[in-house]
Every structure is written in C-alpha cells, then in structure tokens.
C-alpha cells in the first residue's frame, strides 16, 4: 500500500507539502482487484476516479449488437474513469474492468470536489492531466480519420509497446475499431513482409 508511485505521478506537475500529501491520502482509498473484475458497470453511477498502481484495466463501450469498442487501456501509473459521467453525474456509458490482478487508488466524486476546495494546487495538476488526455484523444481522432487499419496498428505498437504485451489481439482490434479477424489478417501480412 505504498503511495510512492502516485505521489511521483503527482509531483511531475506540482509540489505538495507534507500536509497536502496527508490530506490527499485521507481522501483516496486503496483497492486490490482481481483479474476480470468489473469496477464500473455500464448504466450505474460513476462515482470514482481511479489511479492504477499496478496491473491493467480496460474501459469499453458496447453497442446495441454487443460489439465492444475499447476506449482506453490503463496500465500502471495511469488515471482512468468514465470521465464524462464522473464529471456530470451521469450513468456510466462505459464499463471498466481489470485485465489483470490490479491495485488501484480511488478518489470519489465528493472528495474530488473537496480536494479542489482545500488544496487548490490540484486544479493545476488535473488541468495538466486533462490537457494530456485531450491531446492524446485528439491525436487518436487524427489517426482514425487519416490512417488505414494497418497503420493504426503500427502506431499502436510504437506508442504503447508495453500495453500491446498485456492485452489480447481482440482487445487491440476493438481499440483500433476493426474486427479481430481483420487484425489477424493484418498481422499475417506483416509476417509475410518480414520474410521477404
């Protein structure tokens, strides 16, 4: 239950006093979650923002036909939630579940608001976090608009090599917006190219 990692994460953007650190600790709760556990269920209230201390989670949506679209993977040192629903107190549009046994810290919506009130420094921290999340998603939109499935897959491997090792092809396919069958075909092509 070490807080080292999460404070290292925070200190990349702001400096906290001991007092602020202790206050922050008092607001978060630690959870060990075994693999394949749903920590946020679609349709339920999204009350927590989670920081991944170890393990890996996946956030995804299901359309009417049950096809999954992976919104994001969250591995160690990432923050994850259904942000829109967390912020606006809506029922979750996405489901979040662990891919592996994981340890997470959670900050409730209530504490999220308190935190800004008592330690406004965190406004800056989360501003930067949101900035990064925004630009990341924007780059993803750009990829989706202009690249073929194969190039998107290449990009994914380059950008998130560690994630690629932790998740299944089916999950990668659903992140790229293609079918597992087609991703398989892409990979087959690549291995052929590699030989020539």
Binding residues (CB under 7 A) for DNA: these are 67, 148-150, 168-171, 177-185, 187-188
Q: How far is the CB of 64 from a second copy (least distance, A)?
A: 9
Q: Hey, what are 76's tokens?
A: 């160690």
- Burial (0-12, 13-18, 19+ Cβ within 10 Å), 131: exposed
Near a second copy by CB under 8 A, which window of 1-9, 95-103, 107-115, 125-133? 125-133
Interaction residues for a second copy, span 84-123 (CB under 8 A): 84, 87, 93, 116, 120, 123
Residue 89, CA distances (Å) to 12, 23, 26, 117 in order: 29, 24, 23, 19
What lies within 8 Å, CB to CB, of 123 at 6+ separation is: 116
Q: Of a second copy, DNA, none, which one does residue 84 interact with (CB within 5 to 8 Å by kind)?
A: a second copy
**103 DSSP β-pair partners:** 32, 54
Which residues of this chain interact with a second copy, rule CB under 8 A?
61, 63, 67, 69-71, 83-84, 87, 93, 116, 120, 123-124, 126-127, 130-131, 133-135, 137-142, 144-146, 174, 177
């Amino acid at each position: 239950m070490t807080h080292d990692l999460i404070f290292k994460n925070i200190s990349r953007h702001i400096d906290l006093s001991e007092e602020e650190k202790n206050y922050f600790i008092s607001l978060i709760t630690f959870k060990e979650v075994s693999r394949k556990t749903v920590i946020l269920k679609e349709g339920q209230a999204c009350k927590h923002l989670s920081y991944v201390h170890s393990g890996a989670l996946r956030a995804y949506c299901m359309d009417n036909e049950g096809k999954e679209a992976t919104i994001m993977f969250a591995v160690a040192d990432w923050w994850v939630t259904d942000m829109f629903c967390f912020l606006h107190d809506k029922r979750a549009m996405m489901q979040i579940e662990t891919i592996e046994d994981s340890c997470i810290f959670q900050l409730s919506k209530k504490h999220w608001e308190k935190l800004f009130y008592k330690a406004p420094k965190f406004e800056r921290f989360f501003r930067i976090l949101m900035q990064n999340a925004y630009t990341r998603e924007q780059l993803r939109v750009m990829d989706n608009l202009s690249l073929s499935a194969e190039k998107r897959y290449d990009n994914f491997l380059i950008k998130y090599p560690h994630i690629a090792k932790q998740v299944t092809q089916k999950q990668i396919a659903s992140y790229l917006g293609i079918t597992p069958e087609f991703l398989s075909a892409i990979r087959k092509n690549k291995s052929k190219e590699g030989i020539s």
